[in-house]
Amino acid sequence: MPDRRPNLIYIMSDDHAAHAISAYGSRINRTPHLDRIAEGGMRLDACFCTNSICTPSRAAVLTGTYNHVNGVTTLFTPMDNTLDTFPKRLQAAGYQTALFGKWHLGHGPEWDPTGFDTWRVLPGQGHYHNPMMIEPRRDGRGLRFVERGGYATDLITQDSIRWMERRDPERPFALLCHHKAPHRPWEPSPDHFTLYDDVDIPEPDTMWDDHRGRAEVVTAMQMRLMDLDPVTDLKATVPPGLSEEDEIRWRYQRYIKDYLRTIASIDDGVGRMLDWLDANGLSEDTIVVYTSDQGFFLGDHGWFDKRMMYEESLAMPFLVRYPAMIEAGTSSEAMALNVDFAPTFLELAGVEVPETVQGTSLVPVLGGDVPDGWQTSMYYRYWMHRDPNHLVPAHYGVRTHHHKLIGYYNDPLDQPGAFGPVDPPEWELFDLDRDRSELHNVIGDPAYREVAFDLRAELARLQAMVGDEPHPAADAALADLLVAG
Ligand SMILES: [Ca+2]
């Protein structure tokens, strides 16, 4: 009897914001092949990461646990490769497993990928052009470096398809295809060098946000378009004689065009993989997911990069197609988190979810049903206080479908990659129903006092539930604010 459990193709890119996918209504690009996944399946509209940065989000996806539990809090905390992960569980249950592309969870015997029959990854961030890759030696003794000729996105796609071609067709497979793109420094493939040459990309509505009323530590961050490096990021010399406003406009165009060009290669690659599934009669029995490790600011609020709990950075795209179960062309507003992916994939494969998993299986949501008591709030925490390149403050918070409370506790807490000084805690509150762009911090507005009280309690409830702790000084500062209000 052939094993009819579903195959899984999990495609995760790096820093691809949902608002640069046409299935999510992008105003700045078209992604016809990513849209094919949405057209044949479901789009999640409230999918969030629990820590908006590469290494921690990847650990949350693989383990189904929060970063204070899996220990991967910053870019400098590699993931212990003896932790329980969904690929390991699938492999143990008889799945063929493979990983190609970006790993970024550490290298060395304690951190290299585990749970995969085959893997070939970029070291660290890796390079876009002619990248070096690492894979296990065939004799099992250590690793070998492979010099690759070509473009990273195309090579990762090619490796993925070649592995599927060579798999055992009698057993199901789980393939993790982790694109490096569209991560900084946004180097396109020659195929797309001239894409967008003749057009101006629309600017986001909040590009000229002056950050008035926001936490002081937020106004001091180095993620403005003026903070982009002309040489490595913009690959050009700033034209002389521009006013600051014109220079910002020029910088936006240089930045966003390269970002979108690298996405065009991902879209092509996903198209090739979907074509391959069609040609091999596997589309019906294969779960195809497209997501990104977190969102990104695309000039929104005048910024690039991620890390923040604001919507553009917090939201993850999540498109999933599985014709045997998911109705085509649907979407869901149910809240979904990166820690929910692992239990979802395990349940879809009929594999027991380990007790250590903190996330919730999304299977009912994918089936078109939102069960009573489904999560309506989420907990977020970014630990890497004042990393020297971006100066983003350490913060945590809670988001519901209507509001968001963010506490900048502003303390490195001895986390690797986090730096002082400790700044006084600050708080922000946003009314997402009225102010989806998060331009108006209403923490000091007496009309929101009750909302703030409720959110403080909800934050404490979530922290207790996931086993994290409030920052005493930040919590005291919030209590003072609410009494004063
Ligand atoms: Ca990332």
Give the closest residue to 477 by CA, choosing from 435, 433, 422, 438: 422
Centre of ligand 1 from the C-alpha of residue 105, in Å: 12
For 413, left (φ over 0), alpha (ψ -120 to 50), or beta? Answer: left
Centre of ligand 1 from the C-alpha of residue 394, in Å: 17
pLDDT of residue 65: 98
Looking at the whole model, is its pTM more than 0.85?
Answer: yes
Centre of ligand 1 from the C-alpha of residue 5, in Å: 31
pLDDT of residue 2: 59
Centre of ligand 1 from the C-alpha of residue 104, in Å: 9
> Coil, helix or strand for 454?
helix
Centre of ligand 1 from the C-alpha of residue 280, in Å: 32
Centre of ligand 1 from the C-alpha of residue 338, in Å: 13
pLDDT of residue 191: 97
Separation of alpha carbons 35 and 312, rounded Å:
20
Centre of ligand 1 from the C-alpha of residue 264, in Å: 17
Centre of ligand 1 from the C-alpha of residue 301, in Å: 19
Separation of alpha carbons 192 and 197, rounded Å:
10
Write the burial class of residue 273 (CB in 10 Å: 0-12 exposed, 13-18 middle, 19+ buried): buried
Tell me the CB-side half-sphere exposure of residue 96, using CA atoms within 13 A: 15
DSSP string of 218-235, one letter each residue? HHT-S-BGGGS-TTTTS-
- Name residues of the chain where pLDDT drops below 50: none
pLDDT of residue 1: 54
Centre of ligand 1 from the C-alpha of residue 186, in Å: 12
Identify the residue whose tokens are 């055992």: 168
Centre of ligand 1 from the C-alpha of residue 181, in Å: 9
Which residues, listed in sequence order, are joined to residue 121 by a DSSP beta bridge? 101, 134
Centre of ligand 1 from the C-alpha of residue 112, in Å: 18
Centre of ligand 1 from the C-alpha of residue 260, in Å: 15
Amino acid at residue number 378 = M
DSSP string of 100-167, one letter each residue? EEE--S--STTTS--S-SEEEEESTT--SBS-EEEEE-TTSSSEEEEE--SBHHHHHHHHHHHHHHHS
Amino acid at residue number 203 = E
Centre of ligand 1 from the C-alpha of residue 405, in Å: 23
Amino acid at residue number 320 = V
CB atoms within 10 A of CB 275: 14
Centre of ligand 1 from the C-alpha of residue 170, in Å: 35
Centre of ligand 1 from the C-alpha of residue 445, in Å: 35
Centre of ligand 1 from the C-alpha of residue 53, in Å: 5
Centre of ligand 1 from the C-alpha of residue 290, in Å: 14
Centre of ligand 1 from the C-alpha of residue 294, in Å: 6
Give the closest residue to 349 by CA, choosing from 98, 102, 96: 96
Separation of alpha carbons 387 and 223, rounded Å:
12
pLDDT of residue 484: 75
